[in-house]
Structure 1
Amino acid sequence: MAPQTAPARQNLPVETDSFIGRDRDLSDLLRLLGADRVVTLSGADGIGKTRLALRLAAHATASFPDGVWLAGLACAGTRADVAARIGAAVGVAEEALSDPVDHLCEALRRRALLLVLDDCDGAADHVAEVAAALTASCPALSLLLTSGEPLRVPGERVWRVPPLTLPREGVDPADSGAVRLFLDRARAADPGFAVDTGTTADPAGLRTVAEVCERLDGVPLAVELVAAWAGRVPLDRLAEGLAAHLPAADPRRHGRAARRRLLEGVLTWSHALLSDPERVLLRRLAVFPDWDLEGAERVCGAAPLAESDVLDLLSGLVDRGLISLTGEHHNRVRYRLPGAVRRFAAARLAESGEADEARARHTARMVALTEDLGRIAVEGRPMPWAERFGHLQRVVCEYDNVRAALLWAERRRDAEAGLRLCAGLRTYWVLGHHFGEAGTWCDTFLAVEGADDALRGRVMVLRAQVYRAQRRYPEAARMAAEAEARCRAAGDTESVGQALNVLADFDIRDGAYARARERATEVLEAARATGDLWNEAVALALVGAVAVHTGELGEAETRFNTALMIMRGMDHRWGVGLVLMAQGAAAEVQGDAQSADRCYREALDIQRGIGAVPEIAAALAGVGRIAPALGSVAQAYDYLSESLLVSHAAGHRPGAARALEAIAQVALDHGVAEDAFRCAGAAAALRGGLDSELPDPRRPAVPLKPGVEPEQVRAWWEEGRGLGLDAAVDLALRITESGRPARPRPAPARLSEPPRTALTPREHEIAQLIGQGESNRVISERLFITQATVARHVANINRKMGFNSRRQIAAWVNRHAVSP
């Protein structure tokens, strides 16, 4: 989750060193990728599959309009896990009611993108299943896979990654890929390293390097590991040491098993050259999928090491090529062990007898990290939002480690550690809509004996919220009631308040307003007595919602404003956003368009900063629904179309249904009955049926207009129900493009010549294309941005200039010859 910016077209990591010796492979693979939709780079560990795939993907971005996206699958364990990692890479939100693979296929059905699935060996069968489903369902999608062996996906073209080229007789050794890589990495490790590479002589140093590369069979990782020592160990001694550790040279050995033995020998040789403390740190680092310095210090800094030793030892291992840098995330450098090195280190950890202890420390570290998030997410004391949000970002960065800790706790049947992790992850899972994973882990650890009632109660509150997201309302209510009873018996007042707030929310949905008020009032009294500001603010918002439903509008306004005051006092922007959305919905029901617009717009700004896509779409839809009441149908269509596109891109069907309903309502109000009812029918189908309940006042059903025959409405409605999501989105976008008012309200005289400086360069560019009569879709294709981004820019231009329609933008552009 990150603040929304200009749309990225790839998530590939930044290269940290030079790419050597694969130019011909790269050229051939680019042609292959253009001809085949599934390409697998196969070969032994250390042969360079991942590095080649990343460079190939970077060169291929221009061929895929919807981008190139990397998903690392080294730690994936299940089919759902594979789908979740791919979804996270491409920005597809989880759909609580759908099979994760089916949902992923639906969301990507029309995208022309390249998925890079790296390190598929550990979950090969699951990856093959998901890959086959994607290629069958998504005709414009291509896959680039890395794996030790072919995955046997239908249509798969396998490229056996060869070793780097070796020196040939009569040719300068420095022209071979293996020697060039050796020299480059040796100089990177020791800038003073040099051998004569002139073509007029065959110096001993260069000849030794060539011999070493031949002995290493051109395997890139082996070459890099040996080259890292070249500045510290004389070349002749380096060659002698390798000879003692590597299998005897055999010109016939070129298979995967032989190269695996070769790499094992190189790692054994390199490991023997390390100091004892370096060997201890290396094996302990095997518990991490990736890490930062603080994590390494906390987990690995136990006797015989000290935390203060870790930085220097870590730097030494980086210099020796055993650790890779993966980049900087949120001002913290992150590291990882290459796959072959990690497996070697894990074997040494098992031999040492300290594997359980190291994994226990790793799990304890993740428990502490997630519990910090859980505490700070609802902590009542004032705290800068950047600091509070930073804890969420830390968990995002560490989530592979969190998954590893959950798996370890599951294998150990450690209910307390598992439940503590689940409780701490509540904010991450709910805010990120990771409901399937949350439900699975909660069920796993709630079924294990152990842990106290208060902890179980906290996790049951989360499970109730997940059940609600999955629309399993009876289970949700039962789970929340049991959570409240357990926490009350344990004397955990804060968790009782959380459980009661969840139950009050269910009561409001069921129309049990008196009971909801009673529960929320109990929370208010307890929260005020204990200084629990979070539960107090949430309870106030719930009482406000009850007051809206019971017609006590003055009380509702007071309650919402008090809740906002508390959340703002804590500088808790997520909490402010939640209350604003509830207050905006209340104002919308009351017909107070100005207040609703203000609430939704501020909530939209907050959600853009957090990056929670379903909430962004909800706020956009709120602004769009209110815009006609404020005299701007054009803005209504702009915001609603962006809401629809954001939801569609994220695969969030409830959000898409909400936007379709709102577009249908605006269209119907402006005489577009036929397409309006088709659009509404499509929304009803997304919600699960024509007669499904729509309890949320923000999602009204489209009413029947006078003069329209019910039979005709039913026919249009049924046509819409049969459209499918993609076709429904196309229909809605046609409505928003063509359904704007023919006679827009003229701009105020004082804005007849707005200052050019009010617009950004991108907004000037879009304004000029609007002046040429181009639609949002054409503009998005011209500028290589999404239609959602175009719609947002159009809305910004209208807001800045005081315009109400695209016609006014076009008139201004053409009148004043505006250019970008």
Structure 2
Amino acid sequence: MPGNVGHQRCHWCSCDQREVVDPSYAGFVAAPQAVTGSVGNLPTELTSFVGRRVERAEIRRLLSRARLVTLTGFGGVGKTRLALRAATELRRAFPDGVWFADLSTLSDPVLVPDTVASALKLHPQSPRGAIGVLTEFLAPRHALLVLDSCEHLLDPCVELAISLLQSAPNLRILATSRQSLNTAGEQILPVMPLPVPDKLDPRDSQLEDSSINLFLDRVTAVVPDFRLTDDNMDEVLALCRKLEGVPLALELAAVKLRGMSLTEVLEQLSGRFPSLTGNRVAADRQHSLRECIEWSYELCTPAERDLWAQVSVFAGGFELDAIESVATTTAHDSEPELASVLFSLVDKSILIREEHDGKTRYRMLDIIRQYGQQRLRDSGQWITTRRRHRDFYADFVDQARAGWVNVRESDWFARLRREHANLQAALEFCTTEPGEAVIGLRIAAGLRHHWMTRGLVREGLHWITRLRTQTPSDTHTTILAINTAVWLSTLQGDLTIADSLLEDGRALARQFGEPAEAFIRQASGFQALFADNLSRAASDFEKAIAIFETVGNSIEKVYTLFLLALVHTFAGDFERAPTRYHECLALDPPDEILIRAKCLSWLAVLHTGDIQGDLKMEQESLRLKYSIDDHFGIAISIDAMAWITAWNNPRRAAALLGAAVTRFDEMGIPISSLPGLFARHQACETRLRQTLGDTFADAYARGASLRRDSAIQYALAEEPHAQPAPDLARSPFDLLTPRESEVAALVSQGLSNKDIAKMLVISQRTAESHVQHILTKLSFASRAQIATWITERRRK
């Protein structure tokens, strides 16, 4: 049998799980464990993956003997696609997850650990920082981390890799970089262009891994009726040879066949590229790729070239309204509408169109973006265009800040999540370009709720600290920045920094008067609340509310009113607390989420005597928080559900307590740093330990082991007596489409691709594609493994 059948007993039930374990994983899969499904965040591949079988096998081999493997090679050679495909194929080998962190748009080395933590859905808010949170999360886990595009951040990437590998003995790291990380224990795998055969024989099985196959795959995607024939065979071979098998160059050339013949494409290539034969160095191939990108640029209209250069200032993705603000019209004759030019760049594969949160976004491959940036610099418009980019996002943040307590609030939260890389780019511009820091401070200060709900407290403080050193201290923007910084440093647990900030803020408030005093009073009250100084917190909040009402700032008034209600709750004043919460809800727009969710959450824990009613109210709060991805609020709601259910369902309450603590730990916030919350948490835990005795630890551990979405699903379960189900990923069979399942069944019967094609009335190439997808999704290396796996499923 090609694989070994692994057995393991399910942790939370008596079922026996069986899976075929590929022998090539034996070096780093602890037998007899078997892994079902996948955990992690690998992005979905938008185009088919072609070839690289030797490299994929070598990556598996290297990761079985080394803990750090780096794929090196020039831009456009396919390092990222190879790493993603290899990681996808290795998912079953890493039961605790395969995680992908894209560093290509990051420019600030300080934020490397934070960016990686965010990719793992961790939110470092404690003084331990991102590295501390990452090491704590990864230390007990058998996981693979992919660090993509390390070349411009080598030192921080090396420091992070060393720290994580030293702390997490079962962690493997797969990095991509244009140069090696040059650290002890690193195994380097150079990624070369796809091979170009000396002659073209369609019957040659080696074509599957060649540049020919990639080119044909990409051509048929844009020209579906294109076929390799005796008449065009030599031209296809000549084109792949001219482009030296560089994947990105081949993809750009394939797009040209939408409007040109193969002969015309080859003629243009022959006219501009020098012949690169033999073992030329990578620099020559990089030059060849640049020539290909330059050729694509010259085939664009003047309007398309201008737009290509201007949108290169965006980091990550961007949407149409942002393009309209950043891109300027030119004086070209018959200037087409911006949308038309944009769609043309998509057609030419310069821009990639994607859907996020139901919105259309565009992005560029990093090497194409870099070419556009160089063109923009050469034109003398680099700083001007970046300033327009910054101005758009400064206005965007102002609008979002004005829309917090609003029916569009959830839209703003979602858009801020999508635009995080662009916000970083705008802030970086403000810190590096003289005279721009004041607007940067305005952006960082205006993102208070974004930093908090996303768990990006450390990053928010980083930007505010950098920008404050470059701006005058006597501006209203400084007041807002101090307000935000106090909130963030308090959540991070550093009350000393908060005290220092408040001292500066109070001096400025005396200078500016209202409404500056209101923002400083609000921040002071927030710090006092977390310092368990409830009398000072109440006094500061009451004065802030009065000022906000006088100056007409209804958003901050409602939020401060909620904080005052929280003071009454922690003080045990169960008469005034619900009154304040209901005041907030009365002032709140009907479809607002942030304040509504928080008020419902704390109203539910005031113990009205109706346990089921309180639980349903807390569950509604959790649903609202989940809809805006409020990580901090989600943790509080799950913990609060434990307090509510402790009276009638102690085992469920214990599981919820464990799930809540895990959520706080993921954010890097020890629950003990929140005095009012921690007192109730401790009281609940004490009661549950007395009630459950020795069984408390088991129930608590079950809840603590749940991943976030599973914990939320469990907390929202209608059946109050339900115990948390095992947090198992989907069966691998669930990963297959209905057609792929059908093909897998036929493979198990011993049918060839040709036979399957005839039986299903599809082309042989389509049948081959289905089989390859099945092998990839199930991480198998042979058809025999598919047959064995199908047989095992039928026995069950």
CA deviation profile, 1:170-211 (whole Å, cap 9, x unmatched) = 63499362222223323333445x3542xxxx32x2211211
**Partner Cα separation in structure 2 for residue 86 and residue 806 of structure 1:** 29
Provide closer, same or farther for how the CA distance between residues 55 and 496 of structure 1 changes in structure 2, counting only shifts above 3 A: same
Query: After superposition, what is the alpha-carbon deviation per residue over 1:219-259, rounded to whole angstroms, capped at 9, x for unaligned?
Result: 11111112221342333333232233223333231x21111
Q: Which position in structure 1 is the counterpart of 2:792? A: none
TM-score (norm 1): 0.76
Partner of 2:211: 178
Identity %: 25
More deviation, 475-484/101-110 = 475-484
Could you list the per-position Cα deviations for residues 345-371 of structure 1 after superposition, in whole angstroms to 9, with x for gaps in the alignment? 211111111111111111111112222
Structure 1 counterpart of 2:793: none
In structure 1, C-alpha distance between the alignment counterparts of 2:181 and 2:548, rounded to whole Å: 56
Helix, strand or coil at the partner of 1:151: coil
Change (3 A) 1:152 1:173: farther
Paired amino acid for 1:292: E
| Counterpart-to-counterpart distance in 1, 2:470 and 2:179 | 38
> Within 5 A, what are the aligned runs for 1:154-553?
154-169=184-199, 171-172=201-202, 175=207, 177-191=210-224, 194-197=226-229, 202-203=230-231, 205-253=232-280, 255-290=281-316, 291-304=318-331, 309-325=337-353, 327-377=354-404, 379=405, 383-384=406-407, 387-413=408-434, 414-450=436-472, 453-480=475-502, 482-483=504-505, 486=508, 489-490=511-512, 493=515, 496-508=517-529, 515-547=536-568, 553=574
Which of 602, 627, 632 matches 1:609? 627
Q: State how 1:510-659 maps to structure 2 within 5 Å.
A: 515-547=536-568, 553-567=574-588, 569-583=589-603, 587=606, 600-628=618-646, 630-654=647-671, 658=678
Secondary structure of 1:157 counterpart: strand
Which structure 1 residue ranges, 5 or more long, are not aligned?
A: 1-5, 676-733, 740-774, 808-820
Once the two structures are TM-superposed, the CA of residue 736 in structure 1 deviates from its matched residue by 3.4
Task: After TM superposition, list the pairs within 5 Å mapping 1:122-141 onto structure 2.
Answer: 122-141=152-171
Counterpart code for 1:631: N
Output the aligned Cα RMSD: 3.5
1 CA distance for matches of 2:692 and 2:40?
42
Q: Which moved more, 1:547-556 or 1:358-367?
A: 547-556
The aligned counterpart of 1:816 is none
SS in 2 for 1:123: helix
Secondary structure (helix, strand or coil) at the match of 1:116 reads: strand
Show CA shifts across 1:399-447 (max 9, x none): 1111111111111131222112112211101222212111121112222
Shift of the 458–26 alpha-carbon distance from structure 1 to 2, 3 Å rule, reads same
Whether 1:71 aligns to 2:101 is yes
The residue number in structure 1 matching 2:754 is: none
Give 1:736's aligned residue. 697
* SS of corresponding position for 1:287: coil
- 5 Å-filtered alignment, 1:19-58, equals 19-58=49-88
1:120 and 2:175 matched: no
CA distance in 2, matches of 1:415, 1:92: 29
Amino acid in the other structure paired with 1:246: F
User: Could you say which residue in structure 1 is the equivalent of 2:31?
Assistant: none
C-alpha spacing 1:8/1:645, structure 2 compared with 1 (3 Å): farther
Write out per-residue CA displacement over residues 43-75 of structure 1, whole angstroms, 9 at most, x where no aligned residue: 121111111111222222222212222110113
Q: Aligned partners of 1:50 and 1:22: how far apart in 2?
A: 12
CA contact (8 A) 2:69 2:188 kept: yes
Q: By how many angstroms is 1:796 displaced?
A: 5.9
**Cα distance in 2 for residues equivalent to 1:273 and 1:511:** 66
Deviations 1:257-276 (A, max 9, x none): 11111112212222222211
Alpha-carbon distance between aligned partners in 1 of 2:166 and 2:671, rounded to the nearest angstrom: 25
1:18 matched to 2:48: yes
Given that residues 245 and 268 in structure 1 are in contact (C-alpha distance below 8 angstroms), is that contact kept between their aligned partners in structure 2?
A: no
Partner of residue 61 from structure 1, selected from 78, 81, 91: 91
In structure 2, the residue corresponding to 1:158 is in which secondary structure? strand
CA contact (8 A) 2:413 2:450 kept: yes
1:806 & 1:180 partners in 2: Cα distance?
48
Question: How many angstroms apart in 2 are the aligned matches of 1:322 and 1:229?
Answer: 12
Asked whether 1:670 is paired with 2:631, we answer no
User: Separation in 2 of the partners of 1:299 and 1:330?
Assistant: 22
CA distance in 2, matches of 1:482, 1:652: 26
- The structure, 1 or 2, with the larger RCO (C-alpha pairs under 8 Å, 6+ apart) is 2
8 Å Cα contact 1:40-1:147 kept in structure 2? yes
Distance in 2, Cα, partners of 1:666 & 1:62: 41
Structure with the largest fraction of helix: 1
Contact 1:39 1:145 in 2 (8 A): yes
**Deviation sequence 1:518-577 (CA, Å, 0-9, x none):** 43333333344454333333343444455557775433332232223323x353321123
Query: Once the two structures are superposed, what CA deviation does each residue of 1:627-674 show, in whole Å capped at 9, x if it has no partner?
Result: 33x3322222121122233334555433799598457413543384xx
Aligned to 1:746: none
CA 87–308 in structure 1, closer or farther in 2 if over 3 Å, else same: farther
Residues 189 and 30 (structure 1), Cα distance of their counterparts in 2 relative to 1, 3 Å cut: same
Change (3 A) 1:76 1:805: closer
Whole-Å Cα distance in 1 between the matches of residues 94 and 64 of structure 2? 10
- TM-superposed deviation, 1:102: 2.8
Q: Which sits farther off after the overlay, 592-601 or 417-426?
A: 592-601
Distance 1:145 1:511 in 2: 45
Q: Which stretch of the first structure deviates more once superposed, 660-669 or 348-357?
A: 660-669
Listed one character per residue, the Cα deviations across residues 697-735 of structure 1 (whole Å, up to 9, x for unaligned) are xxxxxxxxxxxxxxxxxxxxxxxxxxxxxxxxxxxxx73
Q: Number of matched residues?
A: 681
- Asked whether the 8 Å contact 2:129–2:458 carries over to 1, the reply is no
CA contact (8 A) 2:104 2:150 kept: yes
5+ unaligned residues in a row in structure 2: which ranges? Answer: 1-35, 726-796
Contact 1:663 1:736 in 2 (8 A): no
Letter in 1 for 2:85: R
- Relative to structure 2, which stretch is displaced further, 257-266 or 286-295? 286-295
SS of the equivalent of 1:322 reads coil
Task: Between 221-230 and 299-308, report the one with greater CA deviation.
Answer: 299-308
Where 2:256 maps in the other structure, the secondary structure is coil
Shift of 1:91: 1.4
Q: Distance in 1 between matches of 2:140 and 2:367?
A: 37
Residues of 2 paired with 1:794 and 1:465: CA distance? 31
> In structure 2, what residue type is equivalent to 1:786?
L
The answer to whether the 8 A contact 1:371-1:423 is kept is no
Is the alpha carbon distance of 1:663 and 1:115 closer, same or farther for their aligned partners in structure 2, counting shifts above 3 Å? farther
What is the alpha-carbon distance in structure 2 between the residues aligned to residue 271 and residue 353 of structure 1? Answer: 18
Structure 1 residues 243, 170: closer, same or farther in 2, change over 3 A? closer
Q: 1:615 to 1:207 in 2, by over 3 A?
A: same
CA contact (8 A) 1:119 1:147 kept: yes
Decide which moves more: 465-474 or 550-559.
Answer: 550-559
SS of 1:70's partner is strand
2:706 alignment counterpart:
786
